[in-house]
């Protein structure tokens, strides 16, 4: 409990991270990143906001599906996208990275009133609002134009400096990799 209070106080005192989102209820997605960006990113998942999406991300992480998946779409000032467990594995042919998902079913949208600001994590999808599957993105800055159109699943609570260092590109040459993704409950 004390650590959650300290973390909450830290978030409120740190304008560089996303604000105005629910309490730090966890679980946390812990991402080890290698490449140009090296380090650990911790995402506080928000099951009260997007229970189906958080359950799917958690299941994929626990299966090891996100391990060795690249950041395939990284737009400066906007966001870093990853999570294509089908076509985005490091060391493989990345020509179709960003076009796949997982063997799990697509998810119905779970929109909320949380704004897409720096550090917010959302689920990527096709034009169909009910097509999110495994891919997600982390916001570098304001993306409020996405509000009400994409599902918010979490927020970065540590490691935003690692996110900021992720190599840019669509796709980046020599993309950064999520080498290991785990869930802390």
Tens-digit pLDDT profile for residues 79-101: 999 999 999 999 999 999 999 99
Residue 142 CA neighbour count, 13 Å, CB half: 3
- Domains of the chain, by residue range, sit at 2-184
- Specify the fold of 2-184: Cyclophilin (2.40.100)
Identify the H or E element spanning 10: helix 2-13
Could you tell me which residues come within 8 angstroms of residue 50 by beta carbon, excluding any fewer than 6 positions away?
Answer: 110, 112, 123, 151, 152, 153
> Is 54:136 a contact under the CB 8 Å cutoff?
no
Nearest 5°: the CA angle 51, 57, 61 is 140
> What is the pTM for the complete model shown?
0.88
pLDDT 10s digits, 50-66: 999 999 999 999 999 99
């Amino acid at each position: 409990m004390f650590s959650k209070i300290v973390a909450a106080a830290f978030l409120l005192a740190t304008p560089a991270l996303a604000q105005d989102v629910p309490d730090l209820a966890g679980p946390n997605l812990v991402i080890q990143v290698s490449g140009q960006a090296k380090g650990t990113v911790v995402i506080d998942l928000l099951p009260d906001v997007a229970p189906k999406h958080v359950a799917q991300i958690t299941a994929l992480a626990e299966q090891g599906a996100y391990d060795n998946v690249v950041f395939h779409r990284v737009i400066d000032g906007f966001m870093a996208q990853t999570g294509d467990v089908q076509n985005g594995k490091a060391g493989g042919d990345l020509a179709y990275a960003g076009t796949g998902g997982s063997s799990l079913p697509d998810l119905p949208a779970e929109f909320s009133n949380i704004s897409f600001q720096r550090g917010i994590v959302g689920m990527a999808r096709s034009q169909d609002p009910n097509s999110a599957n495994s891919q997600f993105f982390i916001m570098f800055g304001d993306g409020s134009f996405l509000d009400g159109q994409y599902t918010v699943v979490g927020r970065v609570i540590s490691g935003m400096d690692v996110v900021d260092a992720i190599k840019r590109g669509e796709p980046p040459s020599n993309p950064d990799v999520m080498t290991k993704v785990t869930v802390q409950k």
